[in-house]
Homo-oligomer: A and B are copies of this chain.
């Protein structure tokens, strides 16, 4: 008897034009298009194994070794059901293929980044889930077709089906058939696009993005203008900036769109605040870095963006990253002592001390105060870059399920 099993990995993505608001909460259809950069899964990824077998009594899923309930009608169930449907169609069209669409599936998924990193793991997680089943089922579906299903797991997951620079076109259909992801450009097109994730400590648990965005849809008057007038224009400008590798425009739109997302969150009743004083300090630092560069005849060097939390992601070209890492460690010196920055791109040579190298000439250090206490610090720094889309892994080496179809790693 055959074993039907596949293992894949899928990347994280961070939006430059933000998704905030659903027009259909069940199908997860957004109120505006969005655009993101896929990050390198050598550094951050979800890995997922999927297996189907006539002996399995029911569908089951383990996340980081812990069994997760597949609620009927829930997001996980929807994705699994839709993938089984695609397999069934494929079997109907290819009568020689084994009839496995009726088997129950077992799925094990792991993230290689801690939840404490404050990264939305739902995007990479649902992309990996859908891609693992597509691989298991040998489906000929394109990434855009799969993105229609991943979208129903978690909106932003649809963008993790592609590497590089990815647009999620909102579509207009009420059934959602035209609300999918497309690739604007592959990672190789602009490979020196790097990203620095600054994990910011925050005592307060923020509003969940699912409930927060719906409150914004219901109560923010400014959101309507953003949806109608602002985002459509920015989507076009941003796609052109990416094709032209125009960092100035890319950075300007990225920062303005992050700020506008937080503006409509603040315009919500009651207001939603995701950025805290540490986030504000990083905004001030990046603004000053860019000001000095422009004043000296250069262009913008960095672009901050904030999702539904206080963490900053700073996009910059590889050549400027050393200066930026040094600057972050200068303002948040605890970082160097408590959680060393992992210099995976070998920016610093042996004699150089991260955080203690000089700031650029003309930089007004007083724009933000140096934070030397854990409460207002950056607790972790992850340096990565633009990367490719989901990968099929060698199941015999990297599979997460053992021969019996039980996760190798189990947590009670």
Contact = CB atoms under 8 A, between A and B. Distances in A.
A359 interface: no
Nearest to A265: B263
A262 B256 contact: no
B276 A252 contact: no
Interface in A230-283: 230, 252, 255-256, 259-260, 262-264, 266-271, 273, 276-277, 280, 283
Stoichiometry (number of copies)? 2
Contacts of A122: none
Contact of A277 (B270, B277, B283, B369): B277
A230 B203 CA distance: 34
A221 interface: yes
A229 interface: yes
A267 B263 CA distance: 6
A226 B260 CA distance: 14
A392 interface: no
B269 A266 contact: no
Contacts of A226: 221-222
Interface string A203-233: 1100000000000000101101110011000
A368 B205 CA distance: 10
A287 interface: yes
A255 B219 CA distance: 13
Looking at A230, A264, A276, A277, which has the most chain B CB atoms within 10 Å of its CB?
A277
A87 to B, nearest CB: 46
Contacts of A222: 222, 225-226, 230, 260, 263-264, 267
A270 B304 CA distance: 11
Contacts of A264: 222, 263
Interface in A351-369: 368-369
Nearest to A278: B277
B203 A369 contact: yes
A32 to B, nearest CB: 13
Interface of A: 203-204, 219, 221-222, 224-226, 229-230, 252, 255-256, 259-260, 262-264, 266-271, 273, 276-277, 280, 283, 287, 368-369
20 contacts: A203-B369, A204-B368, A219-B256, A221-B225, A222-B222, A222-B230, A222-B264, A222-B267, A224-B225, A225-B229, A255-B271, A256-B267, A259-B268, A259-B271, A260-B266, A262-B266, A263-B267, A271-B283, A273-B283, A277-B277
Given A221-B229, A259-B267, 9 more contacts: A203-B369, A221-B260, A222-B230, A222-B264, A259-B269, A260-B267, A263-B266, A273-B283, A277-B277
Q: Which 6 A-B pairs have the closest CB atoms?
A: A225-B225, A263-B263, A263-B267, A263-B266, A259-B271, A270-B287
